[in-house]
Amino acid sequence: MKRLASIASAVACLAAAPAFAASTATATLDNIQITLYKLNPLLAGATSITFSDTALSYGNYVSASAFDNQSGQLSSVNASGATAFVPVSVNTTGVSNAWASANVSGPGTAIGSSLSASGTALGTATGGAHSNFQASADSSYFYNQNFTLSANTVALFSVTASLSATVTATFDPAASGQPEHASAYSSLSIDGVGALGAGSQSTSNHQSIASDSQSVADPSCTSGYCYVGQSQSRSTGLSGSFINATANTLAGNMYATAAVNGYSNAALVPEPSSYALMLAGLASIGFIARRRRG
């Protein structure tokens, strides 16, 4: 059993090695929540918020694209839902070195819905060629005025935004240019008629991150420095509010988006760190095999 465990550990070393240069990004808005409060508890009437989509023929929109310029492969897809929170999703297909997806998911109502976008671009077979991706999920689309809030009510909107962006390429900039980029973005915006029934009101929260190849001192590189990969991630809450201090209903809009993009201009070869991990894994397997023969 110990030998089997050792072999499994060595194989894991191989599996853990990042085999190819890659740019990857994800953006998620998870589990939208809306809480209603009466501004004046002494006034009669229940609190309510009602969503509808009247300005456009659709309420949400998702899109994704992936491209490999070496092979000329391109996949670009999009879809929309009749209302802001109806589940809808898209995925790219048929591109060798890149893919992307975007979706709106959940119960079909504002509360509990989630938005996500993700993509990956691998290094291409020849350095200098590139692959890229883009994806976004929007709900509602184009600031459609899509909710009505009851009189004497404040609505608090909240959602958890989780972002990640990673690039892996390591290269000598004097010898070859192999940059990579990945970014992720999320936002939650609320706007509409002003709290007293005139003018306007709005709140907006957004988060974004980006990763690019970073320079580090390295005497083995031509100019004394090389570029190495970078990874960033962030998880935070986004929130907004809408106030109705009148005796009538007020119209407003909730707009949420999750979006990613990135590219890889790196050759499709294992990074130096991958070689080291692979060699260590192979050496471990070889050592275990010799012990078993002995």
Can you tell me whether residue 122 is helix, strand or coil? strand
Closest CA to 57 of 85, 90, 78, 81: 81
Give yes or no for residue 274 having a pLDDT over 50.
no
Q: Which of 10-19, 228-237, 239-248, 285-294 has the lowest mean pLDDT?
A: 10-19
CA-based nearest residue to 266, from 18, 51, 2, 58: 18
Question: Which residue carries 């929007």 as its tokens?
Answer: 138
Q: Is the pLDDT reported for residue 200 higher than 90?
A: yes
Cβ contact 263:181 at 8 Å: yes
pLDDT of residue 44: 83
Q: What are the angstrom distances between the C-alpha of 293 and each of 11, 203, 267, 269, 288?
A: 19, 70, 40, 34, 9
The per-residue pLDDT for 268 is 55
Sketch the domain layout of the chain as residue ranges: 1-19+270-294, 23-269
Query: What single string gives the DSSP state of each residue in 166-220?
Result: EE---B-TTT----EEEEEEEEEEEEEE-TTSSSEEEEEEEEEEEEE-EEEE-TT
pLDDT of residue 206: 95
Q: Which residue has the higher pLDDT, 57 or 155?
A: 155
Chain segment 31-54, per-residue pLDDT in tens: 999 999 999 888 888 999 998 765
Candidate from 138-147, 162-171, 206-215 with smallest mean pLDDT: 138-147
Is residue 97 predicted with pLDDT exceeding 50? yes
CB atoms near residue 30 (< 10 Å): 17
The pLDDT of residue 216 is 86
Query: Using an 8 Å Cβ cutoff, are 150 and 13 in contact?
Result: no
Question: Does this model's pTM top 0.75?
Answer: yes
Phi, psi for residue 276 in degrees, rounded to 5: -60, -45
Chain-wide mean pLDDT for the chain?
82
Return d(Cα 223, Cα 211) in angstroms, integer: 23
Q: What's the CA gap between 98 and 205, in Å, rounded?
A: 30
Give residue 171's pLDDT. 76
Alpha carbon 123 to chain centroid distance? Answer: 20
Looking at residue 208, what is its pLDDT?
Answer: 97
Q: Band of the pLDDT at 27, cuts 50, 70, 90?
A: very high
